[in-house]
Amino acid sequence: MLHHVIKITAVDRPMPTVRRQVAATNTGLYCRCGEVIAFAVTRGLPEIELEFIADQPIPVLCPFCGSKDHRRAEEIMQLVLTEENLRQHD
């Protein structure tokens, strides 16, 4: 599997989000409310492993609970979304 590093430069607005999709690879992170916030969606299994880096925490706005947070780029992950992992449970 190929490995790519994506550097996120300083941003003053929250990262744009897309509608998450079950049975697809969602690139994003879990909000503190437990919902998956997706920044990108692709069909099928990931062919490229992505690693995200940034010099500072990035602003994220949750489309589900409305909270704004600054998160580390290292928290962004790729996961094939299923009904079971759609929400992170405590």
Global pTM reads 0.89
Q: Is residue 88 part of a domain?
A: no
The residues with which 23 forms a beta bridge, in sequence order, are none
pLDDT digits (tens, 9 = 90+) for 6-47: 999 877 899 999 999 999 999 999 999 999 999 999 987 777
Range of the domain at 56: 2-80
The per-residue pLDDT for 12 is 87
How confident is the prediction for the chain on average, in pLDDT?
Answer: 92
> Residue 90: pLDDT band by 50, 70, 90 thresholds?
low
- 85 falls within a domain: no
- Residue 49 to residue 64: CA distance in whole angstroms: 27
Number of domains in the chain: 1
DSSP H/E element including 78: strand 77-80
- 90 found inside a domain: no
CA atoms of 16 and 9, how far apart (whole Å): 14
Residue 18 lies in a domain: yes
Say if residues 78 and 27 touch (Cβ distance below 8 Å). Answer: yes
Alpha carbons within 13 angstroms on the beta-carbon side of residue 41 total: 13
Q: What percent of the chain has pLDDT over 70?
A: 98
